[in-house]
Structure 1
Amino acid sequence: MKKKTLALVMTAALAFTALTGCGSTGSAPAAKEETTTAAEKKETEAVTEAAAESEKPAERPEVRVLIKWSESQISNWPVLVDEYNADDSNPVKINLEFYGSEGYDDKVKAELMGDNPPEIVQLMKTTFNEYSANGQLMELTGFLGKEGWNYNKGALAWAGPLNNPENGVYGIPDFANTSCIFYNTKLFAELGIEEPANLEELTNAAKTLNDNGYKAIVTGGGNWCAPDLLAKVQAQLVGTDLLIKAYNNEAKYNDPSMVEAMTIVDEMVKSGVIDKSSADYISDDDAIAEFVMGKAGMYTAHTGMASAIDSSKEDDFEYNIIEKMDFVENPKTSVSVTWGSMWCIPANVKNQEAAEEALAFLFGEKVQKSDVTELGKIVNVDEWNAGLTHPALLTAAEQLKGAGTADSFYLLDMVSSKVLDNMIKGIQEMIQGNQTPAGVLDNVQKIWEEEQAQK
């Protein structure tokens, strides 16, 4: 009996061992299979991720654009740049940095002295002259050739330092403005005044205005509009050759021909063509207010001020610019022109290719045509001005056709900032009757010589 019982126990034990062994052998491979699948899954995910990363476009380089203007002056640019940046197929991202005029020149100076300057900077012509002469700006003739833009030859004639024998281009000029006289077309019609074309006719028009209780010409006699008066006459009588010689100390700003040009301005003041109240207008806003309120028949500046007139006038106020005005007989050029501020690439820029891509967009056909239609600007590629509708700017565009000569270049763009400041002060005093034409230019020459002595 004991033997039988023992046999049964052993049989049961063997059966349990066999069962356990089979269960162990069957479940181990299953666990191994699950582990392998998870590892393969992770490996597949890693490969997929790496492939996706490799398919992503490389991050586009950012191009910084330093701008002296306020955003309101080129209000279409941010919209167009946002559209450009949103398109991943474009090679760069453009960042417009609006600083305004206060402290801007110091900001640019510090940036250009650094190791990683912005890709593009906007410079006014007086500071541009200095930077381009010092070798701090990249030469862009090859860039312009590659883009194939048909730029106005007058605009490019001075797109380098004042001493530029090889005619290098160191900046892209933006908007052309003629030095002009705005006039109230309705008032002229009411008083039967024909649009004048020479100084004698202008003097007669001024007399008619004065006799009927109106001021003739008003301007900002305490700011840049004062030397703009001289620029109108100087371009026609003297031209630019003497200005370059004076800049190189080969001639003087108080040369008899310059005194003669200033005397013509002084005679316009004395005869009532330029109203003496202009000397009190430190801001253009005051002179423009007199003009749009109908207190003055004319306002003188350059065509860039049309936007300021438009923002100040009532809807029924109508104006244009005098298309042809000869201040002297046989003028050297029909009109004085400022070809705009300069947009430049620093010579020590890190990514020249990216800078050129951004410059090509900002001054390419799409943006420039928008500048014409949205801002009413005159751009320097004539065929892109077809969208102009503003009466005054259409007239200015006609003026530009005869202004593609070196002598048309704007006086204010060809002197140092110190000389310009002194000229403003002197002409303001002359309008007040406290200075002579020769005295103004004697002081200008003195300031220039002092500036040269400090270099």
Structure 2
Amino acid sequence: MKKMLMTVIMFVLVSTTVLAGCGNNGGNNKPAGTNNANEATPTPTPTAEAVKAKPFTVSLRHIQIGEAQKFRKAILDDVVAKTEAEVEGLTFELDAVEDSVNRFTKLPAEMAAGNPPKIFDLFGGAGDALKYGAAGRLLDLAPIITELGLDGSFLNLDQFTQDGKVYGLPIGGNTEGFYYNEELFATLGIAQPTTFEELEKAAQTLKDNGYTPFAMGSKGAWVPAMLINTLIGRYAGPEAISGFPAGTAKFNSPEVVAAYTKYAEWVDKGYFTKGELGFEYADMLNEFVTGKAGMMFDGSWRSSVFSDEAQAGALTNKFGFFSMPAVPGGVGDQTFVNGNYSNGYGFSADLTEQELVAVKAFIKNLYSEEMQLRGLLEDGLLPSIKLSADATSKVEDKIVKQVINIMGASGGAFSHFDSTVPSAVYKESEDLLLKLIAGKETPQSVGDKIQAVQDAQ
């Protein structure tokens, strides 16, 4: 992702440009809904009035489970209620499924069988949305975006767009970095790290004083993979992430192996939660908010937890956020951040007329300024559409402001390599990362084995 992307994003967040006056996608996308000259004009989709109002249900798969997701679930519930009220006869049938189970188990099986839910949580990229779209399983949203007047509204649809077709819509954006316990840092005389040396010194000071430096729950390999992805972006450079599938970057290159080496070094030094392979994502958060760990590497989507007394308890509003510092000898622009517009909703290509009316109403209601602003204010979720300056001026959350400032000062953003590489490559990377943590693989063997799978694609 180029520097221009981050410039556009932050310009949108602070400028007085109104939504209706914007005319590009914020990335390098062909504008959603634009047809090639030789393409036929899309057949108009049915309106609510044109469809006989008989009772019907629409299945909706979501991953908003647990206390930490309660704000996003509340927004979804309100969108569902509003859509049901608008579309006569409609009842949504909600199906709550854990993130990794949906992405790696249920949805692939349903796609293979041709019977996915009508609306479902979906990741972008070659391993998910683009693959399912090419197989004919996903609804092309480009004409619907145009019909709803949302052309040019989305900040970035790159990971859902292929050959002018749009196969999903991101619910929001995010970046990843270190949350830290400000109160604990002050007690131990630790300043917020601004260099890699200061970061490692802070980790050692925490360990020496009986605290876990980095809370970690690695039972789900995607959790430590967030940190590995960012270390790769630092050591091998931002271009490495998109370079893996293109062949311009190799997993077994010295730079990528250096990222795995640093992670293994931190494991050996005891910087992560003891027994991390047996702890879930939720366990990691619990260790952090109870003051047992000084830092936690996680996404900006977690920010709402730290201002919520029900979740943060006595440490409410006593946390800060910073991005990964530059690493010694790192390749490329070290101000780049790990940033994504990669998770959202997809829609089945197999819809009745009534279901299509419901899908259009759902999209209209979810991707409104009202709901996107609520996501930013209540959940710390960076919006996926352009918001007016009046809307963003309402942001008061300390960590959300820190995130926005970090993204504004960055040279650009690189995505997760799981959104750029084939599914088999990412699955291998997860398996090998867990073995690296367990001491059953070396950094070099991890790089060599992942690259072998990539070469076989």
TM-score normalized by the length of structure 2? 0.71
Aligned to 1:319: 319
1:79 maps onto 2:73 in alignment: no
Counterpart contact for 1:123–1:341, Cα < 8 Å: yes
CA distance 1:387–1:281, shift in 2 (3 Å):
farther
Aligned to 1:231: 229
CA distance 1:71–1:299, shift in 2 (3 Å):
closer
Question: What are the residue-to-residue correspondences of 1:273-292 with 2, within 5 Å?
Answer: 274-275=271-272, 277=274, 279-292=276-289
Aligned to 1:443: 449
Counterpart contact for 2:53–2:88, Cα < 8 Å: no
- Which residue of the other structure, out of 58, 62, 66, is the alignment partner of 1:64? 58
Whole-angstrom CA distance in 1 between matches of 2:106 and 2:293: 40
Whole-angstrom CA distance in 2 between matches of 1:271 and 1:167: 49
**Aligned partner of residue 376 in structure 2, secondary structure:** helix
Whole-angstrom CA distance in 2 between matches of 1:409 and 1:255: 19
Whole-angstrom CA distance in 2 between matches of 1:135 and 1:256: 39
The percentage of counterpart residues that share the same residue type is 24
1:375 maps onto 2:379 in alignment: yes
Counterpart contact for 1:335–1:403, Cα < 8 Å: yes
Structure number with the higher helix fraction is: 1
One-letter code of the match for 2:428?
Answer: N
- Which residue of the other structure, out of 199, 202, 206, is the alignment partner of 1:205? 202
Give the C-alpha shift of residue 195 in structure 1: 0.9
Instruction: Flag structure 1 segments of 5+ consecutive residues without an equivalent.
Output: 1-54
Whole-angstrom CA distance in 1 between matches of 2:423 and 2:109: 19
Counterpart contact for 1:236–1:327, Cα < 8 Å: yes
Counterpart contact for 1:68–1:99, Cα < 8 Å: yes
Give the C-alpha shift of residue 181 in structure 1: 0.8
Give the C-alpha shift of residue 362 in structure 1: 1.7
Aligned to 2:337: 335
Give the C-alpha shift of residue 142 in structure 1: 4.5
Whole-angstrom CA distance in 2 between matches of 1:301 and 1:338: 13
1:98 maps onto 2:105 in alignment: no
Aligned to 1:261: 259
Give the C-alpha shift of residue 148 in structure 1: 4.2
Whole-angstrom CA distance in 1 between matches of 2:157 and 2:173: 11
Give the C-alpha shift of residue 336 in structure 1: 0.5
Aligned to 1:128: 129
Counterpart contact for 1:269–1:276, Cα < 8 Å: no
Whole-angstrom CA distance in 1 between matches of 2:227 and 2:190: 22
Counterpart contact for 1:222–1:424, Cα < 8 Å: no
Aligned to 2:290: 293
Aligned to 2:150: 147
- Which residue of the other structure, out of 417, 435, 439, is the alignment partner of 1:411? 417
Whole-angstrom CA distance in 2 between matches of 1:279 and 1:116: 36
Give the C-alpha shift of residue 170 in structure 1: 2.1
Which deviates more, 211-220 or 182-191? Answer: 211-220
Whole-angstrom CA distance in 2 between matches of 1:396 and 1:278: 30
One-letter code of the match for 2:150?
Answer: E
Whole-angstrom CA distance in 1 between matches of 2:409 and 2:144: 27
Displaced runs of 4+ in structure 1, greater than 6 A?
113-117
Counterpart contact for 1:92–1:354, Cα < 8 Å: no
Counterpart contact for 2:176–2:323, Cα < 8 Å: no
Give the C-alpha shift of residue 308 in structure 1: 5.9
Counterpart contact for 1:63–1:93, Cα < 8 Å: yes
CA distance 1:115–1:159, shift in 2 (3 Å):
closer
Larger relative contact order (Cα-Cα within 8 Å, sequence gap ≥ 6) = 2
One-letter code of the match for 2:408?
Answer: K
Give the C-alpha shift of residue 196 in structure 1: 0.8
Deviations 1:252-291 (A, max 9, x none): 432333213222333444555x336263443123322322
How many residue pairs get aligned? The number is 387
Question: What are the residue-to-residue correspondences of 1:101-116 with 2, within 5 Å?
Answer: 101=98, 104=102, 108=107
Give the C-alpha shift of residue 297 in structure 1: 0.8
Whole-angstrom CA distance in 2 between matches of 1:117 and 1:82: 22
Whole-angstrom CA distance in 1 between matches of 2:368 and 2:266: 42
Give the C-alpha shift of residue 172 in structure 1: 0.7
Deviations 1:213-244 (A, max 9, x none): 32211212332121111111222343565444
1:390 maps onto 2:397 in alignment: yes
Deviations 1:312-364 (A, max 9, x none): 43233421211563235553552112324232233443435553332122222
Whole-angstrom CA distance in 2 between matches of 1:433 and 1:306: 32
CA distance 1:249–1:299, shift in 2 (3 Å):
same
CA distance 1:111–1:92, shift in 2 (3 Å):
farther
Counterpart contact for 1:71–1:98, Cα < 8 Å: no
Whole-angstrom CA distance in 1 between matches of 2:164 and 2:251: 24
Instruction: Flag structure 2 segments of 5+ consecutive residues without an equivalent.
Output: 1-48
Counterpart contact for 1:187–1:297, Cα < 8 Å: yes
Whole-angstrom CA distance in 2 between matches of 1:270 and 1:124: 33
- Larger radius of gyration, structure 1 or 2? 1
1:346 maps onto 2:348 in alignment: yes
Whole-angstrom CA distance in 2 between matches of 1:403 and 1:234: 17
Deviations 1:6-51 (A, max 9, x none): xxxxxxxxxxxxxxxxxxxxxxxxxxxxxxxxxxxxxxxxxxxxxx
Whole-angstrom CA distance in 1 between matches of 2:55 and 2:408: 40
Give the C-alpha shift of residue 187 in structure 1: 0.8
Whole-angstrom CA distance in 1 between matches of 2:410 and 2:136: 29
Q: CA RMSD in A?
A: 3.6
CA distance 1:287–1:234, shift in 2 (3 Å):
same
Whole-angstrom CA distance in 1 between matches of 2:139 and 2:79: 26
TM-score normalized by the length of structure 1? 0.72
CA distance 1:60–1:176, shift in 2 (3 Å):
farther
Give the C-alpha shift of residue 382 in structure 1: 4.9
